[in-house]
Structures are given as structure tokens and as C-alpha cells.
Amino acid sequence: MWSDNETSEDLFGFRIHSDLIRELILDPTVLPVTIGVFGDWGGGKSSIMQMLNDDLEARQEEDGVATLYFNGWLFEGYDDAKAALLSSILTSLRDHKRFGPKLRDTATRLLKRVDYMRGARILLSGAVAGGLAAATGGLGLAAAPAIMSAACSGAGDNALDAAKESISGVDETQADEALSDIRQFRDDFANMLKASDIKTLVVIIDDLDRCSPERIIENLEAIKLFLNVPNTAFVIGADRRIISQAVAWRYRDTLPKVDISAADGSERLVEDYLEKLIQIPYSLPRLSPSEIETYLILLFCKRHMDEGQFAQILQASEDQRLQDRHQSFAQTQVLETLGGKCSPELSKSMQIGSSIAGQITDVLQGNPRQVKRFLNAFFLRRKLADVAKLEDVSDDILVKLMLLEYAAPKLFQSIFQGMDGETGAVPILTECEALIQKGKLAEELPSEWRPYARWLAYEPYLSHVDLRNYMWVTRDRLRSTMSSAVMVPTIVRAFLKQLLSNVGDARAREELKNLQPDELDILYNLLENHVQQKPREMKAFQALITIAGGNPTYVPPFGALIERLPKSDLSPALAVTLVTISKKRTPLGACAKKIINDSGKGTTQFEKALAKANK
């Protein structure tokens, strides 16, 4: 089994990204700068930032670099995230072993200034700290890019003047005093760094996307208007979609009022604003099949080797990567490095890794964290099969079934339900694989199987396999094994929160198309669980209807959900919505029509509303 923590050990060739970011930071002509390291949940952001932190800490003596590392989630519980961030940075500088002695007195005075500004609610006021009228009823998001542009260019006073001009309904004397405090803080912070031995201050903030939208924006605005002084660099690790969503959420009341073309409308303003907060966005690529194979091989080597042997293998893989980044470091290279000697357990594991790399890349979309979790789940089930003495369980068949279970749990469940209890055969698999082997197009498959034509084509074929033992091994739910409520992707948690909220839910439903298939499936399951606990609430049903309307594979489970819920628990509003949907010639419309036919003659409020609305 493998741990799920970030590491500075480079198993997937991402050090090149941390090296590039480091070179940007050490270029004084680029500073001050805020760099966004963007990537999907589990895509390797934290590991890259840990590598960057380690590299920069090693340079503090030679290059005068002070590096501070924070987890953005630490600031979530504070009523004023700006104050929390400023205090954390100042405290870390004051107590820094290398640079602290020259900073201690000034840092202590600035900490007192933060306490004063927090008490006076200067930091908490978006009107002063950000110059953003969404917090005061003034100018609106349309002006935010211009205001933040001044701050990004280092012209802090110009940004603050623009902020003052944007304030509506704030006493002018109070505004002048607040802005004067902020200017003084910036000047004192800049002078403190200038008088110290610090040549470059680097602040790394990871997991910012785990925070609420309000906290995300407060942290970014604090960086821009309080700390964006010469010789500073801020590195933000997050899912870009979460940050964009936070901007849209924060200024949701302003966006609909902006008088611009509807073509790209609020999306363009959100992106403009984001560009002012983060000047250099750096998006991490997903791993390719060859990189996934290398990653798998190295994970297996680490599992079966002592530290000395693995260090030798890791160095060999890095040497090969420098010569050819497109070739995988496979079993052949491992054997060459070890002089042809390899344990049977490692050899078998590497064979599995090489055979499943392409499939895993497709289904898990090159996500390192999900690859590791998938392997943990696989070996757990493999061990269960061994303990139960199920000798005919083949690794490649187990992996193939688990990939479908991960990608389409509802479809996997249909296999289990359709399996012959005497032979273990599944007729629908026989039918679909016959079409695939004949070279038929995906469009000729049953509708629910069309998105999984590539999975059907993976060898080995399952038509004539007795799947009973495999289904016994997979009685636990794979998603429960691979993740938990805490580990739900941040983008999914953000969508769930908005979809169930009283504001922003309509916009969130429009943006569901931006989710990846695995993220959408997790979200669907969470929404389904929610409506089973609170079946009279409409917001979760509206989100489920949106998902099923755009993705026919979710229509059968949606229909099954309505069927099993007690009709006495369902609201009349849902009935009216279903009648409206039933008039559309779509798979979801047909599903809604069936629900009406099956439930339109009962005596509950929901059933009566169905009958009335259907007249």
C-alpha cells in the first residue's frame, strides 16, 4: 500500500515544473509576482510546491531567499482571512532562524498594526482593502480589473486611490484614514524587507481552493494590496476552476448587472479579474500513458525494494528522462539497472503496471493521486482473493472490472444485476463485445454503453468469463475505498455547496459542463445521497435533472431514484418540473413521462400534483 501525502520525491517527472517556477522567482526583473500553479485535484500541485519549497530553502544562505509555506485551509476558520494571512506571514518572518533577528522589531510593530486594522474592521472591509464595490454597493466588478491592475504593476497608491473613488456611502474622512493605514503598512513592510538580508521573499500557499469563496478572494486581495511590494513572490496552488468560481460567487450580485455583450459576458470579467490577481498562471499537464507507466513501475519498485536499491532505480529513471521524455521507464530498464535480478513479486507487479498503463490513463485521466488510490484498492482486493483462496481470479480481469466500476458505478452495478447466477456470464457484455469485435461503431452499442466503447475494446474480453468470484471480491464500494468525504475533489465540493445554496445555484448548474466525467459522477452520487436524506428540497433535484438532461447515462439512475423514494416525501414542485420535462423528446423526457404514468394516480401531494399538471 502507498501513502496519499504530498512528497518531494519525484516519481512522475514533475521536478521540471518546480525548476521552471524557481527560475522565474529568482529573476529580479519579474518581481513582484503572483504565480498560480493550477491543476486538477490530485494532479501533483502539492508535490511540486513541496519540491519548490525544499529547493528554495536550500538557497537561503547563497541567494538570500526567505521561503514561507502555508496551507490555505489554515485560514478558513478565521472571521478575517486577510488578518490571519498577514499575521501568519509576519510571525513566520519574525521567528525565522536565518532572517528573524533583523526583522523582529519591525515585524512585531506590524503585527500590532494588523491587530489595530482588524479591530477597526479596515481589513474586513472589501471597499477599502480591495476597492471592490460588490462589498459596498459602489462601482461593481466591471471596475475591478482596472483597480487590481494598478496593484499588480506595483502602483499600490494608485490602486488605493481607485479603491477610494469606488466607495459609495463611506464617510470620506474614514476612508482617508483607512487608506492611509494601508499605505503605511505597505511602505513599512517593503522597508522591513529592504533593511533585512532578504533578497527575495517567497510565500507559498497551497490548497487555497479548499477554502470558501470568501476566504479565497480575501487571501488574494490581501496579497495584492498589502504585500505586493518589491522583491516578493507569491506561489498559489489551486484548481483554476475553483478560483474562477470564487470570483463569480463573490460578485454574483454584480455580474448580471454588467452592461456588456452576452457572448462572453461575465466569464470575460471573471477571467480579467483573475488575471489581475495572478499574473502568471501555470497549468500542470495530465500524465501521458508513458508517464503513467513510469509512475506505476516506480511505485512498485519502491514497494518491493530497500531504500538503497530504490534510490538507484529512481536515479536511473531521472537519467533516462533527461535523454528522452517520451519513453517510459519500464520493466526492461529496471532489469538493466539491477543487472537482471528481480524478485518474482516485483516482476509480476511490473507486468501488471505495463499492461494497464493505457487503460488507467484513459479512465483515471492521468491523475497521480487517483492512480495511487486505485492501486491501493486493487491490492486490497487482490489480497482478499488470496485469503479467500479464489485461485481463478486474474489480475487483468480484476483491473478491467475495477476501471469500469470507478468510471461508471451505475453501469458496473447493472453488470452485477444482469449476471447469471449459475454461470457468471453477463448477456449485455456478450452482446456489446460481439459488436466491438466486429468493428462496429460506438453508435451501434446500447446508448448507456456508447461512452465506454474503449473500455469494451480493452483486452481481455469478458464474454465467456465466470465473473462470480470477481463480483464477490468487489462487494465493497470502490469509491468508498478510494476516497472519503474529506477527499472529495475540491471542485466537486464547491459545486455541491453552490448547487444547494440559495444564491448561485442557477449559475452553478450552467457550469456543470466544466466538470470532468469522474468529478460529475462523484457529484451525482453526493446529490443523490442528499435527496434521499432531504427529499422535499428542490435544489438537489434541479441539479440532478440538469446532469441527467445533459448526460443520458444518468437518466436510468435518476428514474430509479424517483421510483424508490416514498412519494409522500416528494414535493409538488418536483411533480410540476417532471411534467414540463416530459413534454421534451429527450431520454430524460421519456423517463419523466414513465414516472408520470407510474405515479400519476396516487393520493400523495406529489402524485396529485403530477395528475393535475399533466392535464
Contacts of 10 by beta carbon, 8 Å cutoff, 6+ apart: 47, 51, 314, 318
Contact between 35 and 48 (Cβ < 8 Å): no
Q: Give the distance from CA 265 to its chain's centroid.
A: 25
Q: Is 608's pLDDT higher than 80?
A: yes
What percent of the chain is predicted at pLDDT more than 70?
80
pLDDT for residue 166 = 42
Of 220, 250, 283, the residue at which a domain comes to its end is 283
* Residue range of the domain that includes 133: 32-39+46-283
Query: Rounded to 5 degrees, what are φ and ψ at 170?
Result: -110, 135
Contact between 327 and 297 (Cβ < 8 Å): no
Instruction: Judge residue 56's burial from the number of C-beta atoms within 10 Å of its C-beta, 0-12 exposed, 13-18 middle, 19 or more buried.
Output: buried
Locus of grid cell 528522452: 324
Neighbours of 429 (CB within 10 A): 20
Instruction: Say if residue 460 is preceded by a cis peptide, omega within 30 of 0.
Output: yes
Q: Is 60's pLDDT higher than 80?
A: no
The 10s digit of each residue's pLDDT in 502-558 is 776 788 888 888 787 778 888 888 898 888 888 888 999 999 999 988 888 788 888
Q: Is residue 261 part of a domain?
A: yes
Contacts of 170 by beta carbon, 8 Å cutoff, 6+ apart: 127, 128, 136
Q: Is residue 435 part of a domain?
A: no
Q: Read off the amino acid at residue 340.
A: G
Q: Is residue 584 part of a domain?
A: yes
**79-88, 450-459, 571-580: which is most confident:** 571-580
Bridge partners of 35, per DSSP, are 235, 280
pLDDT for residue 546 = 92
78-81-85-87 Cα dihedral, nearest 10 degrees: -60
In 3D space, the residue among 428, 425, 460 whose CA is nearest the CA of residue 446 turns out to be 428
Record the pTM: 0.67
Q: Is residue 229 part of a domain?
A: yes
Q: What is the mean pLDDT of the chain?
A: 77
Region 138-149 average pLDDT: 42
C-alpha cell of residue 69: 509555506
Strand segments, DSSP code E, in 184-325 are 200-206, 232-238, 280-283
Region 587-593 average pLDDT: 88
pLDDT for residue 544 = 92
- Between 267 and 215, the more confident residue is 215
DSSP, res 50? H
Helix, coil or strand: residue 281: strand
Region 393-413 average pLDDT: 84
Q: Is residue 349 part of a domain?
A: no
Locus of grid cell 486594522: 117
- Between 615 and 456, the more confident residue is 456
How many domains, in total, are found in the chain? Answer: 2
Region 44-65 average pLDDT: 83
Instruction: Say if residue 32 is preceded by a cis peptide, omega within 30 of 0.
Output: yes
Q: Is 118's pLDDT higher than 80?
A: no
Q: Is 127's pLDDT higher than 80?
A: no
pLDDT for residue 257 = 52
Q: Is residue 239 part of a domain?
A: yes
pLDDT for residue 78 = 57
Q: Is 573's pLDDT higher than 70?
A: yes
pLDDT for residue 28 = 86
**Least trusted range by pLDDT, from 68-72, 401-405, 438-442, 536-540:** 438-442
Strand segments, DSSP code E, in 108-153 are none
CA 538 – CA 118 distance, rounded (Å): 40
Q: Is residue 78 part of a domain?
A: yes
Of 255, 283, 311, the residue at which a domain comes to its end is 283
CA 183 – CA 122 distance, rounded (Å): 12
CA 354 – CA 334 distance, rounded (Å): 12
Of 267, 283, 299, the residue at which a domain comes to its end is 283
Region 415-432 average pLDDT: 87
Contact between 47 and 6 (Cβ < 8 Å): yes
- Between 569 and 287, the more confident residue is 569
Q: Is residue 313 part of a domain?
A: no
